[in-house]
A and B are shown apart, each in its own frame.
Chain A
Amino acid sequence: MPPNPCASCKTNRALILRPKDHSKLCKGCFIDVFEAEIHHTITANKLFYRGEKIAIGASGGKDSTVLASVLKTLNERYDYGVELILLSIDEGIKGYRDDSLETVKRNAQQYNMPLTILGYDELYGWTMDQVVEQVGKKGNCTYCGVFRRQALDRGAARLGVKHVVTGHNADDVAETVLMNLLRADLPRLSRTTSIVTSTPSASLDPNSHTNIKRSKPLKYAYEKEIVLYAHHKNLDYFSTECIYSPEAFRGSARALIKNLERIRPSAILDVVRSGEDMAKLVPGSDEGCGGACGNAVPAGEEEEGGCGSANGRTAGGDMANMEQHLAQNEAAAENGLEVEITSRHINDTHDSSVPLPAGKKGKKNKGPSSTQRKTTKQVMGQCKRCGYLSSQDICKACVLLEGLNKNRPKNKIEVGYEDGQETEKELNSVTNGLNKLHVEGG
């Protein structure tokens, strides 16, 4: 027997120490148990149904690559009867996304899955490189996050797919739980801990991009195990960092999580579970019971993600910030800054059932001065410009685009900024990108 035998097969040498329970496993047993646990997550939460077409938000990074590999394996092994496709978003960041998209293209061949790549330029008329050129590095993650979330939904709708799975892992969720705790944002904590979120239907058209379900099959999988799985299965993934500003706040939460993991590995799943338990206690939120009631699926519109380090694992991290921002001050939205969440917010959580006399509550209507998160969520409608689900007349992406487009003429004399034709179009209509969206959305 080897010095460190596998706890499961007792035969092979243990290579993996599992963070969740300290069990020592050999390579084969680890791969088996990792896959079995994802299968359990999928079946216990009834994530898929037979015949469903599912788009995997694929970035070429470790999480989405492992997700694609595991889902393919499980679909064949357990005969889920689902159709899997890859959907990648090209933010238009030279030297960052180019290489990872090459990885996704290889993955498409390796896993024999059709791949669709959708670019920000195609959807919005702006690449992230151009956005950064205009707004600077500070706050650009907001644009990226807002655009990306819609982009995945739009891509899915275009492909006739109503379910997008992302590679968010336990570490990501734990980070998000911590971040929301640190921002005193329990309503969002409640939404983001949910394994399934959906964009509530704002359109009667069943093929609308406002009817897309999101889920995170890797929600209970440690990042460490995802990396080890990729390593031991020799998966082809790409590692890089977004060349634009990292999110300092998330970075700190991440460092904290990783430090805790070193001391007590189970801390990560414990934070996730604590998040779920707290979610059940959040009063007045849409999902009231925090998703425990089964049929209550939290709205996905404000789903928490990270910054643009992986389109498979991030959804629109700054989106909820934006939501508030726009509500408070449209002008501030253009700067896309982190929002200070104040006591106003706490009032919000009681808002739908307990009328509070305090002046801080703001108005009940959904005018631009409204600060009512809950109220706005309950009056979800469609953006008047692009038709995307929005609690405001104009959705976040359109507001951001309007700001960008208004300022674009300032740059028109810069040689090589845009080709002449495009610049002219922009000058003629500041809503150029939005018109495109409208056409595509229709």
Chain B
Amino acid sequence: MSKTNDDGTIPITVEFSGGLEMLFSNERKLSLAIPAKDETGNGSNIAYLVRHLCDKVMKDPRKELFVLDGTVRPGILVLINEADWELEGEDKYEIQEGDNILFVSTLHGG
């Protein structure tokens, strides 16, 4: 079980690179406290984090450059503590305290 703060949130680090930072006010690294439980009372997972980022963090209106059909847009890699999210259960991975979640776009050129 992840350790939660008194206010029911867990601290994590979220990073953006490969051009994605442009969608997040050019912030490459965010320290966030996200709710430990999602809307249905289950532990917050990556799918929840992505919704949270879209709704609460991202100011850029071009949400479709980050999320497509309810999941992270194909071509964007997600690394959970450096590991490919496909090794960790993809968007069902339950977020733990202190996790580092990195979103890297492969879609941008140079």
Is residue B4 within 8 Å, beta carbon to beta carbon, of the partner chain? no
Verify A239–B19 contact, CB threshold 8 A: yes
Q: A13-B83, A15-B87, A239-B18 are in contact. Are A310 and B74 (CB under 8 A)?
A: no
A213 at the A/B interface (Cβ < 8 Å)? no
List residues of A (250-278) whose CB comes within 8 Å of B's CBs.
Answer: 254-255, 258-259, 261-262
A242 touches B (CB below 8 Å): yes
A241 close to B (CB within 8 Å): yes
Q: State whether the Cβ of A61 lies closer than 8 Å to any Cβ in chain B.
A: yes
Measured in the bound complex, the distance between the Cα atoms of B73 and A4 in whole Å is 25
Cβ-closest chain A residue relative to B76 = A258
Q: What distance in Å separates the Cβ of B92 from its nearest Cβ neighbour in chain A? A: 15
Asked if A208 CB lies within 8 Å of chain B CBs, one says no
A-B contact count (CB 8 A): 88
Contact pick for B109, options A27, A59, A231, A259, CB 8 Å: A59
Instruction: Encode contact with B along A301-337: 1 for CB under 8 Å, 0 otherwise.
Output: 0000010111111100000000000000000000000
A371 interface contact, C-beta 8 A: no
A261 touches B74 (CB 8 A): yes
Which among B73, B77, B108, B109 is the interface contact of A228 at CB below 8 angstroms? B77
Q: How far is the CB of B80 from chain A (nearest CB, A)?
A: 10
CB atoms of A17 and B86 under 8 A apart = yes
Q: Mark A88-122, 1 if CB is under 8 A from B, else 0.
A: 00000000000010010000000000000000000
**Interface size bucket, A side?**
35 or more
| Stretch of A62-70, A376-384, A398-406, A428-436 with 4 or more beta carbons under 8 angstroms from chain B | A62-70
> Are B87 and A17 interface neighbours, CB within 8 A?
yes
On whether A262 and B87 interact (CB within 8 A), knowing A240-B108, A241-B19, the answer reads no
Taking CB atoms, residues of chain A closer than 8 Å to B75 are: 254-255, 258, 261
A244 an interface residue at 8 Å Cβ cutoff? Answer: no
In this complex, the interface size class of chain B, counting residues with CB under 8 Å from chain A, is: 20 to 34
Verify if A223 is at the interface (C-beta below 8 Å from B): yes
Q: Which of A223-259 contact B (CB under 8 A)?
A: 223-224, 226-228, 231-232, 237-242, 254-255, 258-259
Select A309's contact among B77, B83, B108, beta carbons within 8 Å.
B108
| B107 proximal to A (CB < 8 A) | yes
Interface of chain B residues 88 through 108 with chain A (CB within 8 A):
102, 104-108
The residues of B with any CB-CB pair to A shorter than 8 Å are: 17-19, 73-75, 77, 79, 82-84, 86-87, 102, 104-110
Besides A61-B108, A258-B107, A310-B109, 16 other CB < 8 A contacts? A13-B83, A14-B87, A15-B82, A15-B83, A61-B110, A62-B18, A239-B18, A239-B19, A240-B19, A240-B109, A240-B110, A241-B108, A255-B74, A255-B75, A309-B110, A313-B110
List 30 A-B pairs, Cβ < 8 Å.
A4-B83, A4-B87, A14-B87, A24-B87, A27-B82, A62-B106, A64-B110, A100-B110, A171-B106, A226-B106, A227-B104, A228-B77, A228-B84, A231-B104, A237-B110, A239-B17, A239-B110, A240-B109, A240-B110, A241-B109, A242-B109, A255-B74, A258-B73, A258-B74, A259-B74, A261-B74, A261-B75, A309-B108, A309-B109, A310-B109
Residues of A within 8 A of B (CB): 4, 13-17, 24, 27, 59-65, 100, 103, 171, 223-224, 226-228, 231-232, 237-242, 254-255, 258-259, 261-262, 306, 308-314
